[in-house]
A and B are shown apart, each in its own frame.
Chain A
Amino acid sequence: MAELDLAEVGLRAVNQQLHALSRESNDLDWRLLNPLGRHSIAVGLDAPAKVTVEGHAGFYCGGMNKQAEIIIEGHAGPGVAENMMSGTVRVKGNASQSAGATGHGGLLVIEGDASSRCGISMKGIDIVVGGSVGHMSAFMAQLGTLVICGDAGEALGDSIYEAKLFVRGKVESLGADCIEKEMTPEHLETLGSLLERAGIDADPEDFRRYGSARKLYNFDVDHADAY
């Protein structure tokens, strides 16, 4: 296991070392000390490394991640795992807004709460939130799955495309074109395996499913007020 102290060597050096990793690297288990809310920690990784951030991270931690498993032992700032392609990002605490924004793949687990715009414009990423999410979550969500074990704030899934949303608690309100949908055995299975991968103990039967009514997919004058 290798250790890097952000306070000592600085962000650039840390990211450079992490970028240099590949499948063949000797040590693929890294601990990053003293994150102290710094931004852009462990962004743009592309190796099957395990990177543990020992504390709270600032903006965009794990941004554009590929392959790597990134664990944040604290809270994460805005845009954690933004545009992730593959791999895993796990936040032990809470995440600020736009968690997993535009993510194309991989798994983002937030053990605590996520703030507003969780999963905004998501494009294939799977996100599991142990707690609740704020307003405008899954706004324009295109693809992927957002699992919310707590409650969802206002306007969940506004202008949603083909992403799937599962909520265990209450939903303050649904956004335009987002509706509750039937939970089929297939969905229960998807949800169950996702919860399991996320390591979150919850019964899929307790969740409701939401998705697109697809009424805004092609312009219709009678739905104009929803745009």
Chain B
Amino acid sequence: MDPDTPRTTPRKSALFDDYTLSEIRRAASTGIYDIRGGGSKRRLPHFDDLLFLGASMSRYPLEGYRERCDTGVVLGTRFAKTPLELKIPITIAGMSFGSLSGQAKEALGRGANAAGTSTTTGDGGMTPEERGHSKQLVYQYLPSRYGMNPDDLRKADAIEVVVGQGAKPGGGGMLLGQKISDRVAEMRTLPKGIDQRSACRHPDWTGPDDLEIKIQELREITNWEKPIYIKIGGARPYYDTALSVKAGADVVVVDGMQGGTAATQEVFIEHVGQPTLACVRPAVQALKDLDMHRRVQLIVSGGIRNGADVAKALALGADAVSIGTAALVALGDNDPHWEDEYRQLGTTAGAYDDWHEGRDPAGISTQDPELAKRLDPVRAGRRLANYLGVMTLEAQTIARACGKTHLHNLEPEDLVAVTVEAAAMAQVPLAGTDWIPGRGY
């Protein structure tokens, strides 16, 4: 070939990008799908695509540092004798001892206590340490019923019946055996070191009509004291919220697809469910259609990161939000401090998601005592409390700018969207217009 002939620049396929190619090779070599932790990593319309309309002339703002802007929320006012009273509308989502180290669970409890909010158990039962370190603890009732027992049920401040998770609506997980330590195995009544295949349906009820009976049983056992939450994956949020209310929920938790998980198939995380932003309005509409908005409280989770996200979720109609991934980052997850070790694991700080493998350099998603020791629960708890405080201050800042004396007075009309997609999903106008695309619910 004539050396002077211009050469075509090598061009990589947008479709078969490096990640896709590596996945094909990995699948061909191992014969198993990729399992990982965390939530969706793809770019999705999110709360960032919404903006608040602060006050100027037509409305008056509150003085940022002086005039009150309340943040408290009461969860479980419908049937429960003792609702949960939280100082801030940000709760800590369910994460199990097993998926997380004992130190990490303790840190979550300490941070939540300091901020005046609740933590949640996970798949694997309640540890005495966790109960001890959390003033307000929500006990998850899951299909596996690992470690489920009536004493812990009665010790809980609320019960969360988990029907689905945003990362994997309709699925159970498969947690590889590395994290099934002696203690985790004992709590879950499983042999040590085996892969844990989680069920996707509850073993003794199917459907909202049966769930109503199950909830009655849980209430009878706990003397009708505890608020009962129902947690659903963001898939069909309108119907699922409506059915949760009909089944007797005090609180509905809607977890969008950016919600994290300890471990499930990558294909599940990225291809099943709806973005959190798209879940809020249908869920709120279902509550309104049943005349239950604010009577049954709505918690939204899945990718909440800062006070703006909190304020936006509340403006769209949520009563509170829940954080998981962000709380772990506050404790120290994926911290660049451990970059050398992340590199040894073939990843980098910020991308580490093999939480199921139990080799977390930050000592959070692990059962290895040496790694777990790296996390100081007191200091990590303090970091979480700081972070929760900042989120709350940020949300208050926005609310005051909109003239609100309580975060719950934020409204959809305080928002505009900067993309057509977000405008359609959040059902707020595209900025500069009065156009709400595709008004559905």
Contact = CB atoms under 8 A, between A and B. Distances in A.
Interface of A: 11-12, 15-16, 19, 39-40, 43-44, 46, 58-60, 63-64, 66, 78-79, 82-83, 85, 97-98, 101-102, 104, 117, 120-121, 123-124, 139-140, 142-143, 159, 161-162, 216-219, 221, 224, 227
A64 B152 CA distance: 11
Nearest to A16: B223
25 contacts: A12-B224, A19-B223, A43-B220, A44-B220, A44-B221, A59-B205, A59-B213, A63-B217, A64-B153, A79-B204, A82-B204, A85-B149, A104-B149, A121-B199, A124-B189, A140-B197, A140-B199, A142-B190, A161-B191, A162-B191, A218-B177, A218-B195, A219-B32, A219-B176, A221-B30
Contacts of B205: 59, 78-79
Nearest to B177: A218
A115 to B, nearest CB: 12
B194 interface: yes
B406 interface: no
Interface in B104-152: 144-145, 148-150
Nearest to A66: B150
Contact of A104 (B144, B174, B189, B203): B189
Given A58-B213, A83-B149, A219-B195, 4 more contacts: A60-B217, A82-B204, A98-B203, A142-B190
Contact of B214 (A12, A60, A85, A227): A60
B216 interface: yes
Contacts of B188: 142
B197 A39 contact: no
A120 B204 CA distance: 8
Given A16-B223, A43-B221, A44-B220, A217 B148 contact: no
Given A64-B153, A83-B148, A11 B194 contact: no
Interface residues of B, number: 35
A150 B203 CA distance: 23
A213 to B, nearest CB: 13
A60 B213 contact: yes
Contacts of A58: 213
B228 to A, nearest CB: 14
Given A120-B204, A159-B197, A221 B31 contact: yes
Nearest to A14: B220
A102 B190 contact: no
A219 B33 CA distance: 11
Given A64-B150, A224-B32, A101 B203 contact: yes
Interface in B146-195: 148-150, 153-154, 174, 176-177, 188-191, 193-195
B222 interface: yes
Interface of B: 30-32, 144-145, 148-150, 153-154, 174, 176-177, 188-191, 193-195, 197, 199, 203-205, 210, 213-214, 216-217, 220-224
A68 to B, nearest CB: 12
Q: Which residue, A123, A139, A227, has most C-beta atoms of chain B within 10 A?
A: A123
Contacts of A217: 177, 191, 194-195
Given A19-B223, A66-B150, A121-B144, A39 B189 contact: no
Contact of B204 (A15, A85, A101): A101
Given A19-B223, A121-B203, A39 B216 contact: yes
A43 B224 CA distance: 13
Given A123-B145, A219-B176, A224-B32, A40 B203 contact: no
A121 B191 contact: no
Contacts of B222: 44
Contacts of B195: 216-219
Contacts of A227: 174, 197
Contacts of A224: 31-32
A140 B91 CA distance: 33
Nearest to B172: A140
A216 B197 contact: yes
Nearest to B176: A219
A98 B201 CA distance: 12
A163 to B, nearest CB: 10
A123 B147 CA distance: 9
Nearest to A136: B203
A44 B153 CA distance: 10
A226 B39 CA distance: 27
Contacts of A121: 144-145, 199, 203
B200 to A, nearest CB: 11
A82 to B, nearest CB: 5
A122 B221 CA distance: 20
A162 to B, nearest CB: 6
B150 A85 contact: yes
Nearest to A139: B203
